[in-house]
Structure 1
Amino acid sequence: MGLTSHKVLALAVLFAVALFLGTVLLWPRLAHRSWRSVGGRVGLLLLTQVAVFAAVGLAANQAFGFYATWADLFGQEKGQGVVRDHEVAGNGGPVQVVSRQGVGGPEGERASRGGQVQKVDVVGRTTHIATAAYVYLPPEYFQPRYAHRAFPASVVLTGYPGTAQALVKGLHYPQTARAEAAAGRMQPMILVMLRPTVAPPRDTECVDVPGGPQTETFFAKDLPDEIGARYRTARKWGIVGDSTGGYCALKVAMHHPGVYGAGAGLSAYYKAASDPTTGDLFHGDRAARDRADLMWSLDHLPPPATSLLVTSSKQGESNYRRTQEFIGRVKSPTRVSSIILDSGGHNFNTWRREIPATLQWLSRRLT
């Protein structure tokens, strides 16, 4: 059974409850001063606490989508989605559809009424990076009167480590886009949902790593090229993400305004992280390190002709001060907008409050 299986969560909860009841029932029998009784009490308490923490952890993982598999959790996912130096086999091209599913609504609802989410495998022709993604196609995409229309498209990124599936099931991007378009608050839009971790388990921070994954190039060139060749997408794209994905979205939009007309960072930070999960991203290249610092870019590079959206909370978010500083440094022709909540943490609940307005903003900027 998989890490995100409801059966695994149910078994963990039942095991925790059983250990708790067992501890209550057995405690009187262990109420002695012998080393066996003391050891028994310690063992029961330890096992109960471990079982409770495991159940809570599994529930949190299902809610927030931190890890997708057991291998992902234990850092064993080293052979999945790494850089590949080979051509794609078969006739499907660099984007191959793996599965299709509807977006809410009645079971079996037609795509022309409810839209469709397609799971795809993408391989970049330039970078040879291979990764999975979910593509949301709005209902209009399947309707005859829009058969020749090119739709605005936006890349949607998770945080780190994150799972692409969490964008569908946890943050509800397809469902929100469908509802907002149906209400006339945004135009129908294609969403390409994936995580920025395209070379797991390493966090590349969307950087072109010397001698390693060319992640920025993948998002700036390969992904829009390959998806655009498969689907009817408009020329200029949008990009949005949360946390690490938010940093990536802002950086890619700022560095590649010819491709991305708008970039939104939900609870983003503004400088590439450096820790054991990232490793050495720049190999001593000071210019590359500076370029990955968004504040430095605003001060030293020509302002890009793109639109940026940043979000934060006055209470509960650690990036509030830096977000205000970022807004103050933006110069024309770059345009900047913001969503500032009175309170909200670095979590799914906060981002779900920001996503509808963010999609509306993207829709206006990509018109």
Structure 2
Amino acid sequence: MAERESRGSEGMELTSRTLVYALIAVAVGALIATLWLWPRLSAQRPLPVLGRLGLLTVTQSAALSVLLLSVNNAYGFYTSWNDLLRPGAAAPLALTSARTPGAVPDGDKLVQPTDEGGLETVKDVLPAGKPEEVGRIDSVRLTGTESGLSDQVFVYLPPEYFNPRYGREHFPVLVALAGYPGPTLNLVDSLQLPQTAAELQRSGQMAPTVIVMARPTVVPPRDTECVDVPGGPKTETWFVKDVPAALRSAYRLGRGAESWGVFGYSTGGSCALRLAMRHPDAYHNAAGMHPDYTVPNDRWTDGDLFRGDADAARQSDLNWRLKNLPAPAASLLVVSTHAEDDYQATQKFLATAKQAAENHPEFLVDSLMLPDGGHSFETWRRELPATLEWLSDHLARPQDREPRP
């Protein structure tokens, strides 16, 4: 499912409004120049003919660039020049450690600070104040040793992360996934995730939790549905192995799967449920907001994800897994509305899950169903607080600590 609502970042980044406005100005200028110069280039000699071709090329190229940038800004296929020019590019591989409270990952390592993804936009998301008072949002690029993939994520660190009292404690983690084809920034400015989580944590409705904001579209513009594509990108490996390993190397995060959760909306919600059901040893908890329960066969966005392998396709069908495989040791939350197009599919999945849970007490599925609301950020924002509270209640609060120096 495609998500809706996206905003451009500032500056001359690929998604910046400034770049769009500049190209509009070029297109208008080229059109005016064409109208003014065309009579002067009306002769049929070689130079005037080349001049007319040049004017048409510049005018059409500028107009097409405005159109393509506008579409990209609306749907978030590419979020940076790096995405466009070097999709899935891997950064140098080496482990890093940033255990000191307040330290920012730095250097030529698995976790590198970056200004990608619209960092300027998120700077004012949290109230003004010191990190130990209001928390902090980092923009970092993760690199995977297993998948070979690399992508930018935002990391929200709660105020307690910087409090000396918690200086040796490992924190529970939520990995939040945007929809397709939207950028990670949509989790910040459209879903308002860090703002909502910070308020819930301040009011005591949610335990101090590190929130990692990512996107399923690791290799834009292709929608891999968070699966390992035969002969293609290993997106499942990226989220199951590389993302936790890289983050643990740089931040004080829980060591066990019980203290890790994953959730998302639309395609991100589908990925979240699938990751937890297939890999409860990585993510014990998951919430899917308006998810799909099978991998869509959309050759325009997905391509042939399974290369004709029917068994691999079945393995990613959540209903099939519950009917034919042992239920996983995982806790799941399904969030949707009675007005959503996939309401019947959701009811079918919940019924199948309920039956599977009868013989597997380690498997839990809850649901949150609103009476109305569609496939939009307005609905997802309404559902977000209850979703975060549920996840917080099910995340283990690890007491493991770093040894004293």
TM-score past 0.5 threshold: yes
Residue equivalent to 1:41: none
How far does residue 291 in structure 1 lie from its aligned partner after superposition? 0.5
Residue equivalent to 1:246: 269
Three-state SS of the structure 2 residue aligned to 1:156 is strand
Asked whether the equivalents of residues 78 and 220 of structure 2 are also in contact (C-alpha less than 8 Å), the reply is no
User: 1:255-304 deviations in whole A, cap 9, x for unaligned?
Assistant: 11111111111010111112211111111212111001111111111100
Out of 214, 222, 228, the residue aligned to residue 208 of structure 1 is 228
Out of 285, 303, 313, the residue aligned to residue 337 of structure 2 is 313
How far does residue 4 in structure 1 lie from its aligned partner after superposition? 4.8
* Alpha-carbon distance between aligned partners in 2 of 1:70 and 1:148, rounded to the nearest angstrom: 35
User: 1:77-120 deviations in whole A, cap 9, x for unaligned?
Assistant: 5534415496469954211122576564544x211111111001
Out of 94, 97, 113, the residue aligned to residue 97 of structure 1 is 113
Q: Residue 174 in 1 paired to residue 194 in 2?
A: yes
Q: Residue 82 in 1 paired to residue 88 in 2?
A: yes
Q: Residue 225 in 1 paired to residue 231 in 2?
A: no
How many residues are paired up?
320
User: Which stretch has the larger CA shift, 326-335 or 155-164?
Assistant: 326-335
Alpha-carbon distance change, 213 to 10 in structure 1, aligned in 2, over 3 angstroms: closer
Out of 358, 379, 388, the residue aligned to residue 350 of structure 1 is 379
Asked whether the equivalents of residues 126 and 136 of structure 2 are also in contact (C-alpha less than 8 Å), the reply is no
* Alpha-carbon distance between aligned partners in 2 of 1:117 and 1:81, rounded to the nearest angstrom: 24
How far does residue 145 in structure 1 lie from its aligned partner after superposition? 0.8
* One-letter amino acid matched to 1:335: L
Superposed, which structure 2 residues align to 1:22-61 within 5 Å? none
Three-state SS of the structure 1 residue aligned to 2:332 is strand
Superposed, which structure 2 residues align to 1:316-335 within 5 Å? 317-330=340-353, 331-332=356-357, 333-335=362-364
* Alpha-carbon distance between aligned partners in 1 of 2:291 and 2:23, rounded to the nearest angstrom: 34
Superposed, which structure 2 residues align to 1:145-156 within 5 Å? 145-156=165-176
How far does residue 13 in structure 1 lie from its aligned partner after superposition? 12
Out of 301, 308, 311, the residue aligned to residue 287 of structure 1 is 311
Residue equivalent to 1:42: none
Three-state SS of the structure 1 residue aligned to 2:336 is strand
Residue equivalent to 2:297: 274
* Alpha-carbon distance between aligned partners in 2 of 1:346 and 1:61, rounded to the nearest angstrom: 20
* Alpha-carbon distance between aligned partners in 2 of 1:202 and 1:105, rounded to the nearest angstrom: 32
* One-letter amino acid matched to 1:309: L
* Alpha-carbon distance between aligned partners in 1 of 2:292 and 2:135, rounded to the nearest angstrom: 33
| TM-score normalized by the length of structure 2 | 0.72
Alpha-carbon distance change, 211 to 7 in structure 1, aligned in 2, over 3 angstroms: closer
Asked whether the equivalents of residues 93 and 108 of structure 2 are also in contact (C-alpha less than 8 Å), the reply is no
Three-state SS of the structure 2 residue aligned to 1:260 is coil
Three-state SS of the structure 2 residue aligned to 1:224 is helix
Three-state SS of the structure 2 residue aligned to 1:164 is coil
Out of 108, 114, 133, the residue aligned to residue 113 of structure 1 is 133
Three-state SS of the structure 1 residue aligned to 2:243 is helix
* Alpha-carbon distance between aligned partners in 2 of 1:12 and 1:345, rounded to the nearest angstrom: 35
Residue equivalent to 1:184: 204
* One-letter amino acid matched to 2:376: N
Asked whether the equivalents of residues 103 and 175 of structure 1 are also in contact (C-alpha less than 8 Å), the reply is no
User: Which stretch has the larger CA shift, 182-191 or 90-99?
Assistant: 90-99
Residue equivalent to 2:33: none
Asked whether the equivalents of residues 243 and 268 of structure 1 are also in contact (C-alpha less than 8 Å), the reply is yes
| TM-score normalized by the length of structure 1 | 0.79
* One-letter amino acid matched to 1:241: G
User: 1:9-58 deviations in whole A, cap 9, x for unaligned?
Assistant: 889999xxxxxxxxxxxxxxxxxxxxxxxxxxxxxxxxxxxx9xx99x96
Asked whether the equivalents of residues 79 and 183 of structure 2 are also in contact (C-alpha less than 8 Å), the reply is no
Deviating runs (4+, > 6 A) in structure 1? 8-14
* One-letter amino acid matched to 2:309: D
How far does residue 341 in structure 1 lie from its aligned partner after superposition? 0.7
Asked whether the equivalents of residues 97 and 119 of structure 1 are also in contact (C-alpha less than 8 Å), the reply is yes
Q: Residue 66 in 1 paired to residue 72 in 2?
A: no
Q: Residue 359 in 1 paired to residue 388 in 2?
A: yes
Structure 2 unaligned runs (5+)?
1-11, 26-62, 96-105, 397-405
